[in-house]
Structure 1
């Protein structure tokens, strides 16, 4: 049995301005630059949500730069 098996805390899925995802304890104030995505639950539930929605690991600014340069290149 791992330490994660005993974790009864509620987590929240959070996202930053670069559309990068993470989890944070639901009862804690978020660090600057992060906002709630809307999903809360167990650690595993939140990580499963991130796996579902975070399909492109590139930061938003890089995706925009690549799109702009592909259009002009």
Structure 2
């Protein structure tokens, strides 16, 4: 059973790769807020819907 009650924020790096980060901590260098926050499950559900192409941004641009 998941008893993690912390709040998280969805974060993205310059390559538009997603992760989650504890909301009460400063963001790590190279990451920005994706403006979605909530429980771990809510953040991961958002990432699952939003991150449809796992390739880094630079690779997606080169493939055009």
> Normalised by the shorter chain, which TM-score bucket?
over 0.9
TM-score for both structures, normalised by structure 2: 0.96
Which residue, 47, 50, 53 being the options, matches 1:56? 53
| Structure with more of its chain in helix, by fraction | 1
Q: Which has the higher contact order (CA 8 A, sep 6+)?
A: 2
Which residue, 33, 39, 44 being the options, matches 2:41? 44
> Which residue number corresponds to residue 8 of structure 1?
5
Divergent runs of 4+, >6 A: none
- Give the aligned CA root-mean-square deviation in angstroms: 0.6
1:19 Cα deviation after fit? 0.4
Unpaired runs of 5+ residues, structure 1, are 68-73
Unpaired runs of 5+ residues, structure 2, are none
Which residue, 25, 35, 40 being the options, matches 2:22? 25
Q: CA–CA distance in 1 between the matches of 2:33 and 2:6?
A: 16
TM-score for both structures, normalised by structure 1: 0.85
Q: Number of aligned residue pairs: give it.
A: 64
